[in-house]
Structure 1
Amino acid sequence: MFTVPTIDISPYLDPDGSAAERARVAREIDEACSTVGFIQVVGHGVDDSVINGLTTALDEFYALPLDAKKRYTRPGENRGYSPPKSESLSMSLGVAAANQMNDFYEAFTVGSERSWFAEHELPESSYASNTWPDAAPGFRPAVEAWFDAVRSVSRVLLTACTDALGLPAGYFDELTDHSIDALKMNNYTLPEGEIELAGELTGMGAHTDFGILTVLWADQVPGLQVLDVDGVWHDVQPADGALLVNLGDAMARWTNDRWRSTVHRVDPPVVDGRIIRRRSAAFFFDGNHDAVIETLPGCASAERPGYPPITVAENIDAKLAGMKAGVAPEFADREAQRVKAAL
């Protein structure tokens, strides 16, 4: 039976957490990542006021008229506003939809800036400056508070994952000390009557995330679906107070699919010709732009050779080109085959 396990990570936040408690959490993470690839995380330490601030910020921005929101669009960049039906997540794996740019969500993305890491010479293409909507004055402070909080959660999770994989403490530190982090805030809705006019629509096409892991806040509204190892889609909704965590392509490549990146999609329900509104905020912990993703010790064999090495930036750039411009990546075969088998 498909179940997304709930894991309390508080022993990793507690400075007095015992080694035995942390070892238990690490075992639970390894089991979840080796099977389901999705986790409900509780004991994450994010205050309710920060979560409430995020939802208020989303409501403030997405209530603006479409023309006002489009002022913050940055074509070709992974920053700012993305209007409905301007992206196709399935094309990040080279799996074309009937209408490639048919994902009906709208989104706003912010992320790590080059100025945050003055000690490094970093490319603007990976660490672009953020755009903040002055038409929604409460948006920036609330989103920055959420970004900081969930960024901390992602680092705690990486520490637990390091233990779960049996790696030395701090193994990933030099691969993540100037990580490309991105927060994509999604809104799934369309004006009344547009469904009949638009034909077949996809909320968010089947895809894997690009980086190490993703920490997701989402409304408790149906729509998120996860693909299991047998090629069957399952509905997933967050439990009260939980954050959803799934694995990205960098972790799958590092572990040679001991922990596979999680194939998922969003298909919100339609009631009386209208889509029930759904909001989510996905924090992508992606790693340093120049970090090389290559198979971890002990994860490759003659029967199952590892993935070819690739940098974090090369992986992200190729998949963003698929998502935003329909250019299929050349090295996403394993993930793409899993998606195609479920179509």
Structure 2
Amino acid sequence: MTSAFFVPIVDIGAWVGNGSPQERERVARELDRACRTVGFMQVTGHGVPDSAIAGLARAIDDFFGRPLAEKKRYVRPAAEDRGYSPPKSESLSYSLGVDPVTRMNDFFEAYNVGASAADYPGSGVSAADYAPNTWPDDAFRALVEPYFAEARRVAHTLTDIIAVALGVDAAFFERFAGHSLDVLRMNNYALDPGEIDLGADLIGMGEHTDFGIVTVLWADRIAGLQVLGTDGVWHDVQPAEGALLVNLGDIAARLTNDVWMSTLHRVKPPVINGMIERRRSAAFFHDGNVEALIETLPHFKGEGFRYDPVTVKEHITAKLNGSRAGVKNLGASREAARVRAAGPG
């Protein structure tokens, strides 16, 4: 019998508004509990305007509704983490060193925009690490940028709360992520029915953990997202009305020696009458400064450090080489073992 599984709801309104110190401390405790037990949470009270979300959804609909040949004009080199990714050009499970059913088989398409070097004047960062964006047109940009700004604000609010929950000084994440490798990845899971092999193990997005500090996810309230619980079972997760799904990435797990969980998740889009039901999502990845050294915090050492120090750039590069270049990441053995031990879901 499957054990009870739920994604906690955390209202961060006290941090978005003028909450009292007691209210803010309560939110930090709730976030800490969610991070220790699930690694995912439903965040309410975030203050993102409905208009920003509606604009993002219109941009997603417009771009992914275009002919494939037109969309492919916006493919960029994988290392830049920008532009368009066609269906079956990636395999997220490779970022964990896990072999997919077939090489580069994930059935989603995506469009990435992110923080560029121009966003951080005076920081000394390079365009090689913080690539400029490619915008399909001004209308798309005008709809996406307001949501990007809101998601970034939510991520910064979350790291303020995380600093309290972790017992580090208030400026910790300012130093660690003052010029963060922030990326917004817009995903689409709709495909023509003729492209679907119903006898195959259909993978919308393969098993993976997120790479950075924290991910802020807007998604349709459509089935598909699955989270691997501590019981070794894949559980379906849908966002609550008005909530953003937030999950931790690998950097948070490394900082806490795995006391906080970078939870494995995947997307298995539902097939109805031979067609994949449409599902959209947009994940804002807040990853930290490219040169920042990821080291376990001293007060989380416990019986010994599980992770060797690594820079954000080194860690992200190994993950991206797996998912986009098909170079198996051999540095994620614990996560890979959890995938192999999990039930079929």
TM-score over 0.5 (shorter chain):
yes
| Distance in 2 (alpha carbons) for counterparts of 1:198 and 1:342 | 21
Counterpart of 1:52? 54
Partner AA of 1:330 in structure 2: L
1:31-50 correspondence to structure 2 within 5 Å: 31-50=33-52
Counterpart of 1:67? 69
Partner AA of 1:319 in structure 2: K
Taking structure 1 as reference, are residues 262 and 197 closer, same or farther at Cα in structure 2, changes over 3 Å only? closer
1:21-32 correspondence to structure 2 within 5 Å: 21-32=23-34
Counterpart of 1:12? 15
Displacement of 1:139 in angstroms is 1.1
1:152-301 correspondence to structure 2 within 5 Å: 152-196=153-197, 199-301=200-302
Asked if the contact 1:80–1:108 (Cα under 8 Å) also holds between the matched residues in 2, the reply is yes
Asked if the contact 2:95–2:328 (Cα under 8 Å) also holds between the matched residues in 1, the reply is yes
Map Cα deviations across residues 178-219 of structure 1 (whole Å, 9 max, x no partner).
000000000001102221389443100000000000000000
Cα RMSD of the aligned pairs, angstroms, is 1.3
Check if 1:128 corresponds to 2:131.
yes
Quote the sequence identity (%): 58
Question: 5+ unaligned residues in a row in structure 1: which ranges?
Answer: none
Taking structure 1 as reference, are residues 190 and 311 closer, same or farther at Cα in structure 2, changes over 3 Å only? same
Asked if the contact 1:60–1:138 (Cα under 8 Å) also holds between the matched residues in 2, the reply is no
| Distance in 2 (alpha carbons) for counterparts of 1:12 and 1:102 | 41
Asked if the contact 1:227–1:263 (Cα under 8 Å) also holds between the matched residues in 2, the reply is yes
| Distance in 2 (alpha carbons) for counterparts of 1:47 and 1:198 | 42
Displacement of 1:124 in angstroms is 2.5
Map Cα deviations across residues 267-290 of structure 1 (whole Å, 9 max, x no partner).
010001000000000000000000
List, as ranges, runs of 4+ consecutive aligned residues in structure 1 with deviation greater than 4 Å.
none
Displacement of 1:110 in angstroms is 0.5
Counterpart of 1:83? 86
Asked if the contact 2:212–2:288 (Cα under 8 Å) also holds between the matched residues in 1, the reply is yes
Displacement of 1:329 in angstroms is 2.0
| Distance in 1 (alpha carbons) for counterparts of 2:202 and 2:225 | 15
Counterpart of 1:96? 99
Question: 5+ unaligned residues in a row in structure 2: which ranges?
Answer: none
Aligned partner of residue 258 in structure 2, secondary structure: coil
| Distance in 1 (alpha carbons) for counterparts of 2:77 and 2:174 | 33
| Distance in 2 (alpha carbons) for counterparts of 1:336 and 1:141 | 40
Aligned partner of residue 196 in structure 2, secondary structure: helix
User: What TM-score comes out, normalization by structure 1 length?
Assistant: 0.96
Partner AA of 2:215 in structure 1: T
Displacement of 1:100 in angstroms is 1.9
Displacement of 1:25 in angstroms is 0.3
Asked if the contact 1:294–1:306 (Cα under 8 Å) also holds between the matched residues in 2, the reply is no
Asked if the contact 2:94–2:323 (Cα under 8 Å) also holds between the matched residues in 1, the reply is yes
| Distance in 2 (alpha carbons) for counterparts of 1:244 and 1:304 | 32
Map Cα deviations across residues 226-261 of structure 1 (whole Å, 9 max, x no partner).
001121110000011100000000000000101010
Map Cα deviations across residues 125-158 of structure 1 (whole Å, 9 max, x no partner).
3200111113xx4211111111000000000000
Counterpart of 2:120? 117
Partner AA of 1:340 in structure 2: R
| Distance in 1 (alpha carbons) for counterparts of 2:232 and 2:289 | 32
